[in-house]
């Protein structure tokens, strides 16, 4: 069945499954124990940490393995809330993933300042410089802005943020930069993320197992302990490490990085061809974020006539799996906060679906989905005149 919801989760990569099974069979001992079997497990854990650090161009001693991005986000904001002045505020990109927005709001209640985004949802470096948000921090008044929070790539629209330049601006102003790289990893090179600041990701977004993830600490993270316990992860996260999950995560990301040798431009061409086919075949359809650089695998489509849930159901019946947006928000009601930040009105937002392919998705599958969308229109068109989008 053609699967077009990779931004929600990905199937376990064969190399990840192999790594998980091997670690479960051969390296099952507790890495913190003192005997030889435990030492072998410790060496395997250290090797995984070294590999991930190399991919990120970071440092192994700053890698903390977690259960995913949600845990990492909560740990980061808990630490910042405990170390920044009590009145410190966060400058936050309004199109962040719900796990980031919820954690930031919980630890900094009433102290979130929304960064300005353009019509495609991009936080411009020039806009950040001109905002005045960083001026107070540069002048030593850290209570004004304690950290800047901007993801690497949006999970709903695929829009890319200039995270590297934003991180440099924040570093120059001596302000922490927090970056959710979950959607970037496995689709674009991980190199450089290790020096961006607080960076985290989730293994199941790039072929790793669910319940696996990591956090890469900035150089200034004195006393960070995301989880208290036995002092594992260099004292940063208590609890016996899930070596099988960690091995699978690192194997999946390493494999994805090797597959990036396929030119991104070729993948973008496949996505662009799909978009052109849909827009030309479905009058009234449009691509959200079309004016920005986007992930090669992601298309956010506003479709004509009726609610997105009807399109999803019709496509599912034809064997195509797409979504209405973030999997975390599905079924919770209300239009997407990402689309709202882009100025999309609530009625139009209820007409948007998200298509997200994977590295193994073929051009023929993209073409077949375009044909299916056009065919579904003929099923929905008879009722289009009377159909309304209910809020």
Collect all residues with Cβ–Cβ distance below 8 Å to 330 and sequence separation of at least 6.
323, 324
**C-alpha–C-alpha distance, residues 55 and 353, integer Å:** 32
Task: For strands 177-180 and 147-149, give the pairing.
Answer: parallel
Does 328 qualify as catalytic in the annotation? yes
- How far is the CA of 287 from the CAs of 47, 155, 269, 276, in angstroms? 43, 15, 15, 10
C-alpha span between 374 and 279 (Å, rounded): 10
Distance CA 117, CA 341 (A): 8
Note whether 212 and 242 are within 8 A (CB): yes
State the Cα–Cα distance between residues 80 and 176, nearest whole angstrom: 9
Q: Are 81 and 216 in contact (CB under 8 A)?
A: no
Residue 214 pairs in a beta bridge with: 65, 201
Q: Give yes or no for a contact between 198 and 217, defined as CB atoms under 8 angstroms apart.
A: yes
Please give the distance of CA 345 from its chain centroid, rounded to a whole number: 24
Decide: residue 76, CB within 10 A, 0-12 exposed, 13-18 middle, 19+ buried: buried
Burial of 385 (0-12, 13-18, 19+ CB in 10 A): exposed
* Cα 57 to the center of its chain, rounded Å: 19
Q: Which of 99, 170, 179, 328 is catalytic?
A: 328
User: How many CA within 13 A on the CB side of residue 73?
Assistant: 24
**Token duo for residue 176:** 């922490």
CA dist 124 and 116 (Å) reads: 8
Length of the chain counted residue by residue: 391
CA torsion sign for 185, 190, 192, 195 is positive
Q: Give the C-alpha separation, 209 to 191, whole Å.
A: 22
Give the residue numbers annotated as catalytic, written as ranges: 328
């Amino acid at each position: 069945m053609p699967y077009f919801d990779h931004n929600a989760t990905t199937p376990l990569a064969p190399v990840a499954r192999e790594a998980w099974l091997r670690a479960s069979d051969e390296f099952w001992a507790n890495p913190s124990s003192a005997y030889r079997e435990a030492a072998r497990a410790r060496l395997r854990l250290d090797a995984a940490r070294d590999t991930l650090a190399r991919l990120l161009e970071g440092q192994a001693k700053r890698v903390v393995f977690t259960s995913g991005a949600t845990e990492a986000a909560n740990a980061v904001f808990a630490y910042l809330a405990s170390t920044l002045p009590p009145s410190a505020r966060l400058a936050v990109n309004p199109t962040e993933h719900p796990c980031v927005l919820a954690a930031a709001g919980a630890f900094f209640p009433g102290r979130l300042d929304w960064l300005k985004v353009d019509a495609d949802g991009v936080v411009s470096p020039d806009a950040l410089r001109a905002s005045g948000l960083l001026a107070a921090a540069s002048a030593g008044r850290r209570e004004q802005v304690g950290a800047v929070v901007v993801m690497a790539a949006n999970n709903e629209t695929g829009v890319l943020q200039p995270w590297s330049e934003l991180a440099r601006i924040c570093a120059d102003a001596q302000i922490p930069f927090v970056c959710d790289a979950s959607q970037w990893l496995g689709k674009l090179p991980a190199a450089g993320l290790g020096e961006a600041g607080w960076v985290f990701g989730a293994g199941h977004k790039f072929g790793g197992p669910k319940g696996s993830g990591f956090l890469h600490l900035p150089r200034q993270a004195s006393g960070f302990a995301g989880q208290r316990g036995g002092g594992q992860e260099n004292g940063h996260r208590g609890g016996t490490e899930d070596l099988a999950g960690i091995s699978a995560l690192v194997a999946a990301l390493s494999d994805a990085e090797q597959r990036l040798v396929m030119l991104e431009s070729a993948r973008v061409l496949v996505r662009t061809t799909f978009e052109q086919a849909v827009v030309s075949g479905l009058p009234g359809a449009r691509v959200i974020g079309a004016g920005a650089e986007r992930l090669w695998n992601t298309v956010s489509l506003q479709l004509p006539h009726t609610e997105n849930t009807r399109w999803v159901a019709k496509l599912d019946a034809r064997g195509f799996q797409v979504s209405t947006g973030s999997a975390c928000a599905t079924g919770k009601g209300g239009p997407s906060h990402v689309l709202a930040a882009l100025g999309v009105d609530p009625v139009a937002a209820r007409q948007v679906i998200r298509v997200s392919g994977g590295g193994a998705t073929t051009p023929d599958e993209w073409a077949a989905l375009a044909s299916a969308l056009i065919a579904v229109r003929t099923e929905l068109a008879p009722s289009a005149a009377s159909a309304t989008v209910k809020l």
